[in-house]
Amino acid sequence: MSAALRHPWSLDPTIRFLNHGSFGACPKPVLAVQQRLREQMEREPVRFFLRELEGLLDDARRALADFIGADAEGLAFVPNVTSGVNAVLRSFPLVAGDELLVSDHAYNACRTALDFVAAAAGARVVVARIPFPIRSPADVVEAMMACVGPRTRLALVEHVTSPTGLVFPIARLVRELDARGVETLVDGAHAAGMVALDVQAIAPTYYAGNCHKWLCAPKGAGFLYVRRDRQQQVRPLAISHGANSPRTDRSRFRLEFDWSGTDDPTAYLCIPDAIRFMASLMPGGWPDVMGRNRALALEARTILCAGRGIPAPCPDEMIGSLATVPLPDGLGAPIGLDPLQNVLFDRFAIEVPVMAWPHAPKRLIRVSCQLYNERADYEALAGALRELDVATP
- Taking CA atoms, 10 is separated from 20, 90, 374, in Å, by 13, 38, 17
Confidence of residue 1 (pLDDT cuts 50, 70, 90): very low
Strands (E), the chain: 16-17, 75-78, 99-103, 124-128, 152-158, 183-188, 206-210, 222-226, 322-327, 350-351, 354-356, 363-368
Cα torsion through 78, 269, 73, 231, rounded to 10: 10
Cα torsion through 87, 91, 97, 100, rounded to 10: -30
Confidence of residue 2 (pLDDT cuts 50, 70, 90): low
Answer whether 154's CB lies under 8 Å from 126's CB: no
Calpha distance 20→227 (Å, rounded)? 30
- Taking CA atoms, 147 is separated from 126, 182, 277, in Å, by 7, 12, 43
The letter for the amino acid at 36 is: R
Minimal CA–CA distance to 276: which of 66, 131, 16? 66
Bridge pairing between strands 99-103 and 152-158: parallel
Domains present along the chain, CATH in parentheses: 29-275 (3.40.640.10), 284-387 (3.90.1150.10)
Please write the tens of the pLDDT for every residue from 94-124.
999 999 999 999 999 999 999 999 999 999 9
Please write the tens of the pLDDT for every residue from 130-140.
999 999 999 99
Please write the tens of the pLDDT for every residue from 271-321.
999 999 999 999 999 999 999 999 999 999 999 999 999 999 999 999 999
Please write the tens of the pLDDT for every residue from 162-209.
999 999 999 999 999 999 999 999 999 999 999 999 999 999 999 999
Calpha distance 322→343 (Å, rounded)? 22
CA angle 77, 124, 167 (to 5 degrees): 50
Answer whether 205's CB lies under 8 Å from 199's CB: no
Q: What's the predicted TM-score (pTM) here?
A: 0.96
**If you write DSSP's letter for every residue of 63-113 in order, what string do you get?**
HHHHHHT--GGGEEEESSHHHHHHHHHHHS---TT-EEEEETTS-HHHHHH
Please write the tens of the pLDDT for every residue from 241-267.
999 999 999 999 999 999 999 999 999
Q: What is the pLDDT of residue 17?
A: 98
Give Cβ neighbours of residue 246 (< 8 Å, ≥ 6 apart): none
